């Protein structure tokens, strides 16, 4: 799957009218979508734009699956059902308020209003609102702007090149407990540390589980891992300068720098004060190697000591000294393929813990997944040399 260069994201001020850019074509936009909701054989996208200050994400995109068509209101409802960080209010058929993470927009506050648009034939066009239909390969946009629709003043369009919304359930502390994944440190509190070396530069994203007593800091999480894993090296003073983990490295200023983030689930990252940030039980702390143009949030991680992501063929690779298996594509849609030279057994289960498939693998094996619902799945791979769990995503 072709990678989207997130360095090309353009943050535009709401002081001017947003341009009608070709980047809104679904064929280009879908490559950056990381969170799909709904079911069906057709797909489209929804962009939600809040007023931004140019320093952080303020426009987001979700992918929507459906059959033939879906109304904007139904698409927003599916997003609200799938994403605990997103909500909206429908007042008499009109979009009255929308909230996502730290952003909220309510009609009439400071003379800002929600407007709805469809992007078709290369242009944003004002549509009929929540009842407007999204058809195959269409983009539906809502934008909170200071143009009162009752005055028919020129409306501002949803932002081009929005940041991808992230699935808040992509990984959780429960995943570490339920799957016996490794914990670093000791204590009565637990937190997850995500270290994203930035796929723009060919890096990968990892998640580590850390135990501690009562509370710690972002630096405390990093030091706990470094103390137990010789492959994990950090250089930090008042600021986080460098992180090296196996073949991935992020050296401050060569060429990027580390930004730090806080969250209560994987979908609601916000920038924090740095490695001195207080960490409590159940928290997420993220480190993202970025050029700050804009600052990129931590991306979907792979479990520490789990398989690596092969960027050349978009596959997950489980490997140890004795055996290996290639799993692709990831994300997947109608099928997923396993390739191995060994004899392995696999069990695939949903994020709820339900077993989806069990297979013995030798050579190449395709598993049809068209009827699976979108979301995160886990593959338990068993070989004579040991076992491991990898994470895969159904679009």
Domain boundaries, given as residue ranges, for the chain:
6-164, 173-303, 308-394
Give residue 361's pLDDT band: very low, low, confident or very high (50, 70, 90).
Answer: confident
More confident residue, 353 or 72: 72
Q: Do domains 6-164 and 173-303 have the same CATH topology?
A: yes
Paired tokens of 34: 């990381």
Q: What is the pTM of this model?
A: 0.71
Which of the pair, 157 or 205, is modelled with greater confidence?
A: 205
Of 49-53, 311-315, 361-365, which has the strongest mean pLDDT?
361-365
- How many angstroms separate the CA atoms of 164 and 161, rounded? 9
CATH class of 6-164: mainly beta
Instruction: Tell whether the model's pLDDT for residue 154 goes beyond 60.
Output: no
What sections of the chain are H helices per DSSP? 26-29, 72-82, 173-178, 218-228
- Using DSSP bridges, classify how beta strands 59-66 and 36-38 pair: parallel, antiparallel or unpaired: parallel
pLDDT-above-90 percentage for the chain: 47
Q: Nearest CA to 166 among 295, 70, 33?
A: 33
Instruction: Give the burial string for 276-309 (b: 16+ CB within 10 Å, else e).
Output: ebebeeebbbbbbbbbeebbbbbbbbbbbebbbb
- What per-residue confidence (pLDDT) applies to 23? 47
Sorting pLDDT into bands at 50, 70 and 90, what band is 17? Answer: very low
pLDDT tens for each residue of 19-37: 333 445 787 788 788 899 9
Top-level class of domain 173-303:
mainly beta
pLDDT tens digits, one per residue of 76-131: 999 999 999 999 999 988 999 999 998 999 998 988 889 999 987 778 888 999 99
CA atoms within 13 A on the CB side of 365: 17
The answer to whether 18 and 160 are in contact (CB under 8 A) is yes
pLDDT in tens, 130-147: 999 999 999 999 999 876
Confidence of residue 204 (pLDDT cuts 50, 70, 90): confident
For the domain 308-394, what is the CATH code? 2.60.40.3080
Residue 379 has pLDDT above 70, yes or no: yes
Q: What is the pLDDT of residues 235-291, one digit of tens each?
A: 999 999 999 987 789 999 999 999 999 999 999 999 999 999 999 999 999 999 999
Burial class of residue 366 in the structure, from the number of CB atoms within 10 Å of its CB (0-12 exposed, 13-18 middle, 19+ buried): exposed
Q: For the chain, what is the mean pLDDT?
A: 82
């Amino acid at each position: 799957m072709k990678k989207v260069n997130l360095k090309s994201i353009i943050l535009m001020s709401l002081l001017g009218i947003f341009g009608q850019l070709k980047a809104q074509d679904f064929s280009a936009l879908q490559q950056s979508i990381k969170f799909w909701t709904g079911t069906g054989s057709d797909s489209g996208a929804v962009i939600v734009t809040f007023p931004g200050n140019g320093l952080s994400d303020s426009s987001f995109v979700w992918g929507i699956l459906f059959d033939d068509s879906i109304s904007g209101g139904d698409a927003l409802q599916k997003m609200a059902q799938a994403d605990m960080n997103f909500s909206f209010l429908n007042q008499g058929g009109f979009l009255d308020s929308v909230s996502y993470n730290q952003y909220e927009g309510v009609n009439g506050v400071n003379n800002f209003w929600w407007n709805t648009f469809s992007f078709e034939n290369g242009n944003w066009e004002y549509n009929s609102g929540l009842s407007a239909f999204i058809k195959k390969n269409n983009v539906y946009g809502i934008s909170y702007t200071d143009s009162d629709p009752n005055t028919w003043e020129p409306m501002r369009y949803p932002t081009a090149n929005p940041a991808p919304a992230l699935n808040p359930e992509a990984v959780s502390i429960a995943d570490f407990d339920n799957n016996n994944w490794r914990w670093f440190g000791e204590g009565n509190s637990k937190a997850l540390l995500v270290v994203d070396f930035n796929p723009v530069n060919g890096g990968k994203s990892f998640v580590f589980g850390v135990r501690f007593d009562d509370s710690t800091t972002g630096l405390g999480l990093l030091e706990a891992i470094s103390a137990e894993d010789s492959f994990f090296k950090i250089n930090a003073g008042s600021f986080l300068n460098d992180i090296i983990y196996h073949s991935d490295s992020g050296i401050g200023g060569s060429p990027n720098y580390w930004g730090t983030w806080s969250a209560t689930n994987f979908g609601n990252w916000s920038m924090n004060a740095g490695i001195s940030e207080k960490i409590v039980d159940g928290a997420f702390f993220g480190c993202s190697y970025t050029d700050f143009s804009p600052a990129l949030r931590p991306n979907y991680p792979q479990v520490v000591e789990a398989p690596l992501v092969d960027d050349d063929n978009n596959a997950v690779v489980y490997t140890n000294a004795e055996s290996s298996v290639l799993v692709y594509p990831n994300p997947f849609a109608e099928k997923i393929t396993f390739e191995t030279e060994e004899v392995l057994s696999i069990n695939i289960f949903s994020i709820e813990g339900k077993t989806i498939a069990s297979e013995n693998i030798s050579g190449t094996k395709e598993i049809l997944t068209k009827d699976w619902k979108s979301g995160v799945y886990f593959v338990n791979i068993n070989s004579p040399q040991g076992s491991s769990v990898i994470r895969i995503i159904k679009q």
